[in-house]
Amino acid sequence: MTAGLNVLLTGATGGIGRAFAGVLAPRCSTLLLAGRDPDRLQALAASLAGPHPSLAIVTVVADLSTGAGRAAVAAAVQALPGGLDVLVNNAGVGDFAWFETEPEADIERVVATNLLAPVLLTRILLPAMRRGPRATVVNVGSILGDIGHPGNVVYSTTKHALRGFSEALRRELHGSGIRVQYLAPRATRTPLNSTAQLALDAELGHASDPPETVARALLALLDGGRAEMHLGWPERFFVRLNRLLPSVVDRALGSRAAVVRRHATGTKG
């Protein structure tokens, strides 16, 4: 990844998003930050402006699950000189719930934010990414995009689909000068995690990373040629095991379902 780039980062004000902005800023000519909270966007922009006085920072307040939000971001991208060099689809919402009792509106919100938004935004922005000699789309998924986990049924569904979208689009754009990469963090210590999710992780002994670890992985992915990067051990081992011997992982995670249900539903049984 060279310097002087035009970069769009969605979900910029979340824990991982802020860390991404910090490591991307030194390599950018223009950093376009998209998020839903105007105050947090402005605070992030101000924190970057001091250390990087020559950086052009553009903020766009937008809900990317809506057509109007995606159009607002697309308009800001169209105004960039030279087109868009890097798109980081980072915006997303967590979803720890027991599927059978999860409200339909919550399911629709998670699918719209985690899957439809990055798919539709990428489609809109592809012409702007063709204006330069080389561009990159990075879709930020999750280890749960490879390992379906009880209590995260809808979230896992969206991240599985996002990984499939990345793979298929990479192949469709072969030879176009646009590469597509997929970054899969494991559990990360951000406000995205609910109290119930944190309690489950503590009981099951799930390890988690600080956002800075994920940000360093993003740079490594952009600097290298890999199509995918999965973070954490033993998580990377279980990704491979799940692909080769899913029935083994079925038994291991299925045996935890009762514990997950207790935390997801707030019941004692």
Which residues are catalytically annotated?
155
Distance from CA of residue 3 to its chain's centroid? 23
Q: What is the C-alpha separation between 263 and 269, in angstroms, rounded?
A: 10
Whether a cis peptide bond, with omega within 30° of 0, leads into 211 is no
Residue 253 has a CB neighbour count (10 Å cut-off) of 17
Q: What is the C-alpha separation between 97 and 55, in angstroms, rounded?
A: 41
**Residue 197 DSSP symbol:** H
Q: Is 62 in contact with 72 (CB distance < 8 Å)?
A: yes
Q: What is the C-alpha separation between 137 and 154, in angstroms, rounded?
A: 24
DSSP readout, 218-243? Answer: HHHHHHS--SEEE-STTHHHHHHHHH
Helix H or strand E segment including 136: strand 135-140
